[in-house]
Structure 1
């Protein structure tokens, strides 16, 4: 398998960046302490260095230095195996895929699980939204790729977990004001306090952007809170609330290749005349209970619920548009019991056993629109529901001093159903389907010495159609609003071989080779008039390599490299044999160098004074926007430089950070993301030209 690096991006003039990025550090300090970082390795927490899987952790300081903290894609660029596109279109959310899973999503997220503070942000059918993640109050992000992700159930090609930070020891106020190119403004206000057995973090943020492209203005507001109550030394309760409001996000749509070359700032066909836009409101509450029964047994229970309202106006033709509205209710519960540091055959044995039950139901309606206003009667009304009932188990056994065994199993039942309440068109689009799967995983880690671990694991998974993929059926050259019960889940076999090496206290290198065989991959069948029908391809294959390397040169300088090469193609027994899966660049590289005048601090803390700077390079090879891989759907590769400079001040109890950032320093023209298999070949969403942000962050202990 060959992985030729793209000529447009990987030139010798950037060679110095590649050289300094061959080693890197993602934690602060004069030595790497990532061996001691605890991460979720499947359903069990263990040291990142010992985990028999590719687990990438991003700390809070890296999140805060990534930019205005609006888009999850800005900080995920450095995670190997993850492709994170910023559409610069807030009506459609960011576009994220993990080892190719989720690449075909036209809006929102799919193909992997998104979890915030233990509460799923992905519905049972596999659809999720990144916009409700509060990056301004995030303490860390963990990205799990590979077979162990299958222990999270349906559409678990990977798992992204976001954790809200803990409260300060004393009452603390924080604020942030950011201004940037294209009318960007961002504010954030946080308060945290720990008093006795109760701690609280409250975060309120606002965001507005005029937009680089015509008709791309957006506005958001968000509240994220976390209260922790230590009922006793053995019992802890976390109460979470997240409120998200997007009064409007105008949709500039995609551009054809000719349009993107002629004027990337323009809106797509009919976007302006139809006033395409989206309005979103979401409220969510959750609670997580943890109780330590004894030093070895711990239980955890969670419960959550919420509502989401969504109204979107779409562009169909110069004289007519359409609208789609949904009113969603979702809720779920989960429970698990975990045993830790128990003994089996005189060796350490950890295990977990639990269940998840989740539900999402939405009333969906639609009709015609004119100039962005509803006209006439509704022509679509249906109730769509998805639910899951799963049980799971996992065990980690230090079988020998040099050998650990990991095994797990998840049994899943997924139900999708749609009730058609609009029968005036003479067709009943109601339908119901139930999918069941039992997915095992098995892995082993060889602890060769304190500085080197090798692991091998294998797992089976599945990915069901989403509700939005199931409610349409192809009939000849038309797409009808009929439930497609003939769609079946994709079946996935995932094999991974990896290594983790710390040749010195300042250096760490992780590698992973993977091979993924998928039967019945769900792909686009036909897209007409804003409706898309899906079908099952017989087989696809993904195989590749991921490398992340980190090095601390001295107290003041650190570097990081993350590289991914993947070959994702349709199998031989399909009509698309040999074609590349759209939306997946064959190569991707992130390289960074960071400098601190006073030295990087231990833990997740700012330097109290002094200057800091970092220079990042993001490069991707070309990718395709359609299954046919023709020229009209080809986006060429690119490499972009981004820079950040920060000045830290300390005035008494107040800490102040002033920062300036410039992205796309060389003003490279590129495609930021693609819309897969768009019917009118409006595939392309342009990347931003050279753009800047500047801002001030303050922190005051009261």
Structure 2
């Protein structure tokens, strides 16, 4: 492993980037211009080209062509500034970070906000699960990075929003079936129907895999349904029902460097004996109402609620020699109100504005204990954790003449974390696990856009953000340098960040678009691992960090048959201040200048697509005939721990790699039905790679191997009803 270096992977970059970009210098007359896209710019809706920040949209065709639509990482790697790592471990979800925020997450999402159909999928403390998004019925994904994301409150280092497709004018059924390497199967059934003013999308999907590694098979199923009711031309109700059921996902755990070199298909130490696995079930409902008072004033309200159960069995440790278990039962609910308006100020200059409030609450019963051979033997922990927020926000875009737009905004946030110890008080267990802590922050944003030309915008903006610890991060307290106790830690501070972004958006022609941004982020009181031992991790505020980088997105429609895409990120994320942590009794010094783990310094995705009959315009069904694509994904090396160690017994550097993926699709018209047959191969050249890392893993089992060459075939059919 140590002989693999990041520059090897990057030697593949430049020929392919040059090949994709060369047509820009010799552009043909466009036959299919790139569409204008409307996105969420902070809390305001506007054309993507005019947004004073980095916003990227992924359309339905890109989602469908990515494959079986199981993991968000399959499409999020197209977005500059986003690191989306597929663990190939469905017990821990994909690992997603945006400009470095969220990279420390051992499971699920941290530090970024996830919103589905206007309903938060992240809890008030910043925890979220990407797996609950129904990718098969998603019509669009938007990713907001930079200072504007701070208008979404706590832990909004970036914002990912997904939108379910709406019912068409004609009733239709859709069926998808996929099969792939390592026992992967995927099915999906959808119905789309509109009756009068009522539209229905109902989507049921299943997924199963035997897994590439030992102890890595998983099963899950999901229902996503959206009903829209246009009771009046100016009033719409949207009802959302989402059910996610994963009866089991076995956890292969990570591998040490030596285990990885010996056999990447093996499970981590103790996984099979302890039958490590996770079971999850979540049910959520929501209602969004939109009402237009007139063309210049609109209201939106939302209410939602749901429950989630999570049961996880962990491997044996020194403190739990036969294994352990953790169970969470969560109830969550919330509501919000938002008012959008337009006005004329400053002698008739235009202003778009929004004000709103969010109130969210989640509580979960956290239980834990010892296990033997993957079954509970006792209960040693029982407590009620709560997280809530009450936020107010406002944003305004002010037109200053024809060439300038001023963006202002702020969010006032109040977040509360509570814990109540429900284990009976005794001599061996005093009531010392209860407590609460409040966090208050104001997150201002200020930006200016110069509309230099009709096809060129240059913007600068800055803002402040904050991130509280999650309830999982506050679940353990470091009593002494050698002792971690499972009790609520109210002493963690929220980390505070300052964001600066300078960017440009350029359309040299109707079929070419270039977005570029430079950013700098300074964070105080970064939440870091202070001790990890026996499967327990305690956190502290121990450091300042610095993130700066450059992002580039280039899209070009060569002609109606060819198009290309390039997305590149160059980022340097380091600790600006040193600190010490403790791992299994050893004190480690983290030096200033060390790299933050799980963040590659360089990342690139470039793709080339061809369509026999020509690509359809936005909003239309894809053309019949043959389509093919070739995609290169490459990342430089990344660290798996804070100390950036490369010793023989603590090797924590995941080398860089480059991987080729290809897809071929053929669409037919068979009577009234449209049928699509697809074949894909990931990792075409069968390169060895580490797909993700487990940050600061106490047993040094940092590495989760990527898949070797893997095939997938699929059949989709759309049938009018």
Please state how far the C-alpha of 1:573 moved relative to its aligned partner.
5.6
**Native 8 Å contact 1:465 1:487 kept in 2:** yes
How far, CA to CA, are the matches of 2:282 and 2:599 in structure 1?
30
Q: How does 1:54-93 map to 2 (within 5 A)?
A: 54-93=54-93
Paired position in structure 2 for 1:350: 352
Q: SS state of the match for residue 443, structure 2?
A: strand
Is the partner of 2:132 in helix, strand or coil?
A: coil
Query: What is the match of residue 239 of structure 2?
Result: 239
- Root mean square deviation of aligned Cα: 1.4
SS of 1:128's equivalent in the other structure is coil
Does structure 1 conserve the Cα–Cα contact (< 8 Å) formed by 2:615 and 2:623?
A: no
Question: CA–CA distance in 1 between the matches of 2:605 and 2:530?
Answer: 34
Q: Tell me how far apart the structure 1 counterparts of residues 100 and 347 of structure 2 sit (CA, whole Å).
A: 41
Instruction: Report the Cα distance in structure 1 between the residues aligned to 2:572 and 2:163, rounded to whole angstroms.
Output: 32
Alignment match, 2:331 = 329
Q: Distance in 2 between matches of 1:588 and 1:247?
A: 35
Report the alpha carbon displacement of residue 477 of structure 1 after superposing the two structures with TM. 0.9
CA offset at residue 37 of structure 1?
Answer: 1.1
State the Cα deviation string for residues 175-197 of structure 1 (Å, max 9, x = none): 00000000000000000011111
Cα drift, residue 15 of structure 1: 4.3
Deviation (angstroms), 1:506: 1.2
The answer (yes or no) to whether the contact 1:174–1:191 under 8 Å persists in 2 is yes
2:248 aligned residue: 248
Name the TM-score, length of structure 1 as normaliser: 0.97
CA contact (8 A) 2:616 2:623 kept: no
Aligned to 2:227: 227
Unpaired segments of 5 or more residues in structure 2?
Answer: 25-29, 580-589
Cα separation, 1, equivalents of 2:106 and 2:572: 21
| Alpha-carbon separation, structure 2, partners of 1:360 and 1:438 | 22
Aligned counterparts, 1:208-607, within 5 A: 208-317=208-317, 319-340=321-342, 342-375=344-377, 377-422=378-423, 423-424=425-426, 425-427=428-430, 428-474=432-478, 475-572=480-577, 574=579, 575-607=590-622
TM-score by length of 2: 0.94
Separation (CA, whole Å) in 2 of partners of 1:340 and 1:221: 43
Contact 1:50 1:453 survives alignment (8 Å): yes
CA 1:200/1:43 → structure 2, altered by over 3 Å: closer, same or farther? same
Aligned length: 692
2:346 & 2:169 partners in 1: Cα distance?
40
Partners of 2:243 and 2:31 lie apart in 1 by 39
Residue 27 of structure 2 corresponds to which residue in structure 1?
none
- Pairs within 5 Å for 1:74-223: 74-223=74-223
1:354 counterpart SS class: strand
Alignment partners' CA distance in 2, 1:386 and 1:336: 22
Distance in structure 2 (CA, Å) of the matches to 1:296 and 1:648 = 44
Q: Which residue of 1 is the match for residue 583 of structure 2?
A: none
Q: Secondary structure at the match of 1:627?
A: coil
Contact (CA 8 Å) 1:23, 1:560: kept in 2 or not? no
**1:24–1:346 distance in 2 versus 1, CA, 3 Å:** farther
Q: CA deviation at 1:340?
A: 2.6
CA–CA distance in 1 between the matches of 2:305 and 2:546?
37
Question: Contact conserved, 2:323 with 2:374, CA < 8 A, in 1?
Answer: yes
CA deviation vs aligned residue, 1:583-640 (integer Å, no higher than 9, x gap) = 1000000000000000000014443421000000000000000001012110000000
Contact 1:20 1:559 in 2 (8 A): no
- The answer as to whether partners of 2:631 and 2:661 remain within 8 angstroms in 1 is yes
Structure 2 counterpart of 1:8: 8
* Cα distance in structure 2, aligned partners of 1:15 and 1:66: 24
- Deviations for 1:487-526, whole angstroms, at most 9, x for unmatched residues? 1000000000000000011111000000000000000000
CA displacement, residues 555-591 of structure 1 (integer Å, 9 cap, x when unaligned): 1000000000000000146553010000100000000
Partners of 1:37 and 1:608 lie apart in 2 by 21
Equivalent residue, structure 2, for 1:685: 704
For the 8 Å contact 2:56–2:144, the answer to whether it is kept is yes
Q: Which residue of 2 aligns with 1:637?
A: 656
- SS in structure 2 at match of 1:8: helix
| 1:612 pairs with 2:627 | yes
Name the SS for the 1:469 alignment partner: coil
Counterparts of 1:128 and 1:677, CA distance in 2? 20
C-alpha distance in 2 between matches for 1:605 and 1:66: 19
Deviations 1:106-163 (A, max 9, x none): 0000101000000000000001000100000000000000000000000000000000
- Deviation per CA, 1:336-366: give whole Å up to 9, x if none: 1110364543111100000000001000111
Q: Does the Cα contact within 8 Å between 2:614 and 2:623 map onto a contact in 1?
A: no
- Residues in 2 aligned to 1:133 and 1:100: alpha-carbon distance in whole angstroms: 22
Q: Which moved more, 1:418-427 or 1:363-372?
A: 418-427
Match of 1:660 among 642, 657, 679: 679
